Amino acid sequence: MTSLNFQLLKWQQKVFKSDKRFKVVAAGRRCGKSRLSAVTLLIEALNCPDGSAVMYVAPTLGQARTIIWDLLHELGRPIIKSSHVNNLEITLVNGRKILVRGADNPDSLRGVSLTYLVLDECAFIKQDVWEKILRAALSDKKGRALFISTPSGRNWFYDTFKLGQREEDEEGYDEEWQSWHFTTQDNETIDPKEIEAAKRTLSSFAFKQEYLSSFDNAGADLFKEEWVKYSSEPEGSYVIAIDLAGFEAVTGNGSSSKKKLDESAISIVKITDQGDWWVKDIVHGRWDIRETASRILLAIREHQPIAVGIERGALRNAVQPYLEDLMRKNHTYAHITDLTHGNKKKTDRVVWALQGRFEHGRISLNKEKKWKEFEDQYMMFPTTGVHDDLIDSLAYVDQLAITSYQQDYEDDGYEMLDVISGY
C-alpha cells in the first residue's frame, strides 16, 4: 500500500492523535481546519473496512466543493484511483470511497454506512441533520466523527463542544467525547501582523468569533450612537443593493395594514478607493411591482453603478422582467447580481457587514439627507417586531463592495512539523 506523509500543525496533531470516538474542534478562521479535515478523511478511508465509506459534509454542496474537493486531490494524489466531480465521490486505490456532501440536501446523506464523518462548519448546519440522519449512519460500524467549526453563537455546536469539555467527575461526562478550542494564533504560519490588522478592521464581535473562536452571541445593543458620522460626497464608484419586501396591490384605497408591512429598500452607496462607504441615500417604500422596477431603474440611470444586486428569490424573479423591459426601453443596461444570505441568520449577516465598518469609521452618511428612520432601525436592531429593511438593505452592499468581511479564507502555508504517516 502506498505510504503518505502529512505535515500538520501542532494543534492539528493533538486532535488527530486523540483516540476519542467523537472529536469537537472550535477553531478560528485560517486556523487550518480544512487541512486537518482532508488529512483525517484520507487516512480514515485508507483504513476503512469493506462495505463502508467516509463522508465530508459542509453546510451547502457549493461550500463542500470549494473547501475540500481540490485539497483532497492535492494531498491524496498518490492514493486516488478515480474521482467523479458530478457526484463528488473519490475512490482510493483500496476501493474505498470519500463522499463529499452538502447538508442543504439531506436526502443525499441517507442510505450509507459510514466509518468516519467530518462535519465541517457545523455551527451553520441544522441540528436535525446530525441527530436524525448522520448519527444513524455511524451506528452499524460504530463510526467516528470530527465536528469542526468556527462558532456562531451558542447554538447546538456550542452544546456539543461543552459535552467534550466535561471532566470525568462532572455530571453528563461521556468518555467517547473530547473537544478543543483553538484560535487563529494557533496557526504558527500566520503572521501576527495579519491578526492585528484584522482586529483593527473587524468589529469587536466579529473578531472574537472569527479569530478567537468565541461562542459569545451577537446580543442586543449591536450599534452605538457615537459610531454614526456624516460627510460630504467623496471620490469613488457607486454600487446599489436592493432588498425587496413584497409588492403593494394596485388599489385606489389605502389600508391601515400597510403600516405593518415591510418596505423595499434601495441602498445607493459610493465605495472609495480605500474601501470606505459613503451612503448617499436609501430609497424605501411600499410599492407595487411596476413602481419598484421604476425606482430601481431611476437609481441605475442617475448613479451609473459598477455593481447592482438584488436579493435572490421569488420577489427578484417577479420584478426582473419589468426591470429588464424598462432598461431596454430607456437604453439603460446593468448586470444584476444575486444577493444571498450566505446561510447566515439576518443578525449575523448584518453584524458582519456593518458593525465593524461603523465601529471603525468606515461608513459615513450623506450629510445633506435626513436619516431619522435609518437611525431608529440602526439603534433598535435586532429588536423583534421592529422594522429593519433599511439596515438590511445596507448590509447587502457588503456583497458588492471590493472588500468583504464575509469572505472565508483558509491558509495554504504549513510549517514542516512532525510527520504523521498513513498506510
DSSP string computed for 133-150: IIHHHTTTTT-EEEEEE-
419 φ, ψ to 5°?
A: -95, 130
Asked if 154 and 33 sit in the same domain, the reply is: yes
Lowest-confidence region among 18-22, 73-77, 194-198: 194-198
Q: Which of left, alpha, beta for 97 (phi over 0: left; psi -120 to 50: alpha)? A: beta
Please count the CA atoms within 13 angstroms of the CA of 151 that sit on its side-chain side: 27
Q: Are residues 29 and 165 in the same domain?
A: yes
Q: Give residues with Cβ within 8 angstroms of 172, minimum separation 6.
A: 163, 166
Collapsing DSSP to helix, strand or coil, 233 comes out as coil
Q: Are residues 363 and 298 in the same domain?
A: yes
Tell whether 421 is covered by a domain.
no
Task: Output the domain CATH number for residue 296.
Answer: 3.30.420.10
> Residue 91's beta-bridge partner residues?
82, 97
Q: What is the CATH number of the domain that holds 91?
A: 3.40.50.300
77: CB partners within 8 A, 6+ apart? none
Q: Cell match 510527520: residue? A: 419
Select from 195, 194, 159, 197 the least CA-distant residue to 179.
159
132 & 89 share domain = yes
Both 242 and 329 in one domain: the answer is: yes
C-alpha dist (Å) from residue 233 to 281, 320, 335, 361:
11, 30, 25, 15
> What number of residues does the chain have?
423
Label the pairing between strands 264-271 and 114-120.
unpaired
Convert the pLDDT of each residue in 332-353 to its tens digit.
989 899 998 876 778 888 988 9
With contact defined as beta carbons under 8 Å apart, do 397 and 267 qualify?
yes
- Cis peptide before 382, with omega less than 30 degrees from 0? yes
Q: Which domain holds residue 62?
A: 5-195
Please tell me what DSSP assigns to residue 272: P
Label the pairing between strands 336-339 and 307-311.
Answer: parallel
Exposed (0-12), middle (13-18) or buried (19+): which is 126, by Cβ within 10 Å? middle
For the segment 293-315, what is each residue's pLDDT rounded down to a tens digit? 999 999 999 999 999 999 889 99
| Distance separating alpha carbons of residues 41 and 38, to the nearest angstrom | 5
Please report which confidence band the pLDDT of residue 417 belongs to, taking 50, 70 and 90 as the band edges.
very low
User: Would you say 67 and 102 are in contact if contact means Cβ atoms under 8 Å apart?
Assistant: no
What confidence tens digit (pLDDT) does each residue in 9-51 have? 999 999 999 999 999 999 998 899 999 999 999 999 998 888 8
C-alpha cell at position 265: 429598500
Beta strands 89-92; 80-84: pairing state: antiparallel
Q: Which of 180, 195, 210 is the last residue of a domain?
A: 195
The answer to whether position 210 is within a domain reads: no
pLDDT on residue 257 = 42
pLDDT of residue 379: 84
Please measure the distance between the N-terminal and C-terminal CA atoms of the chain and give it in whole angstroms.
Answer: 6
H helix intervals, 147-267: 156-163, 192-201, 204-210
Nearest residue to 120 (alpha-carbon basis) of 175, 194, 71, 59: 59
Please enumerate in sequence order all residues whose Cβ is within 8 A of that of 406, keeping only pairs 6 or more positions apart, or say none: 342, 344, 349, 352, 353, 398, 399
Name the pTM for this structure.
0.59
Q: Are 182 and 278 contained in the same domain? A: no
Number of compact structural domains in the chain: 2
Tell me the sheet residues that pair with 181.
26
Sign of the alpha-carbon torsion through 140, 142, 143, 146: positive
The pLDDT, as a whole number, for residue 402 is 58
Residue 206 lies in a domain: no
Q: Are residues 232 and 121 part of one domain?
A: no
pLDDT in tens, 250-284: 444 444 444 446 899 999 999 999 999 999 999 99
